[in-house]
Structure 1
Amino acid sequence: MSHLEEKTIKTEKIFSGKVISLQLEDVELPNGKTSKREVIKHPGAVAVFAITEDNKIVMVEQYRKALEKTIVEIPAGKLEKGEDPMECARRELEEETGYGCDEMDWLISFYTSPGFADEIVHLYIAKGLKIVEDAASPDEDEFVNLMEVSIEEALILLKEQKIYDAKTAYAVQYLQLQEALKK
């Protein structure tokens, strides 16, 4: 056991929903005292950084109720139980954009809010994009506008806080770094 580890003494399920669950945990701290932790459990998600032949980033504009506003994001979605992250990435790309791809590579995985949630996002890059005939549709409660933006346009969207989520900001900055390394 690490000298920083917190030992769970008791777990109480507070809420179980379609996407997340919330539990209250009593923990023993490294100094022997106890405390409570509110923990959100999430099945994980994928995000797809899709690049067109002319080096445009495929994005979607979507209303996010938690934020009470519309933001611009790279395609993303929740993992289904037991689903392979790369297959989920391919599915989400098709559902949200109508694109398939010749090449899908894992870039990185990261936790979104480790202070209170276990959600992990697996970020993939998709190249060799092609329109899929009879593509799968977005979920029935999902409405998106498809966009293709240059790196310069994406940087403006970041500055205007229209791109306002970590996965998309990471993808834009990744492309910006790759472009800088080519020079």
Structure 2
Amino acid sequence: MRETNVSIEKTEILSDNWYTLKKVTFNIKKQNGETETQSREAYDRGNGAVILLYNTDSKKIILTRQFRLPTYINGNANGMLIEACAGLLDDNNPEDCIRKETEEETGYKISKVEKIFEAYMSPGSVTEILHFFIAEYSDEMKINEGGGLEEEGENIEVLELNFDETLAMIDNGEIKDAKTIMLLQHLRLKNIL
């Protein structure tokens, strides 16, 4: 593993509205031994967790659909995105966070979750590391309709889909969310469904 030699010279806050956008000036020692000064912007929105609920008997999974402004700005015609249930940690540990988010967004109360990996989703500009989980669900675990929290401006549609259908939705472009694609491919590679 290559060691980096970095020293931060200056940090400026460019925006602290929704989350924090910083401009960081730093010195980095390059592979040839020279030191170079660079500036980059980094968006800090906190760390998060994501989960894919699956049912081995019915071969179904639970996904959500909601409006995502950045996708709308970037050409997603109606701004709606199909994705796995996710949320920011907000000072909670990843497992507690994802149980709470699952109940709020999908209406399922789960107890046993399996952490499968962590990943940076956009390391060139966003500090967030995402904790990936899977969990088995059953109809008995449904305690409400889900849909998210109104006070957080959430308006989430809960989708129960056949696993094979979701794989086809990746191929035809209906599912474009990276975290969701990663989780679906994990289930496929591990032959879980």
Does 2:76 correspond to 1:87? no
Equivalent in 108, 111, 118 of residue 127 of structure 2: 118
- 2:62 is aligned to 58
- 2:81 is aligned to 71
1:73 and 1:147 map into 2 onto residues whose CA distance is 10
Preserved CA contact (<8 Å) 2:147 2:154: no
Identity of aligned residues (%): 27
1:152 and 1:164 map into 2 onto residues whose CA distance is 16
> What 5-or-longer segments of structure 2 have no aligned partner?
73-78
Count residues with an aligned counterpart: 177
Secondary structure of 1:103's aligned partner: coil
- 1:47 is aligned to 50
- 2:189 is aligned to 177
The structure with the largest strand share of the pair is 1
- 1:29 is aligned to 28
Does 2:158 correspond to 1:132? no
Q: TM-score, normalised by structure 2?
A: 0.84
1:67-101 CA-to-partner distances (Å, cap 9, x unmatched) read: 01212101111111x21110110011111110012
Runs (4+) off by over 6 Å: none
> What 5-or-longer segments of structure 1 have no aligned partner?
none
- 1:166 is aligned to 178
Q: Provide the aligned C-alpha RMSD in A.
A: 1.9
Secondary structure of 2:96's aligned partner: helix
1:29 is displaced (CA, Å) by 2.1
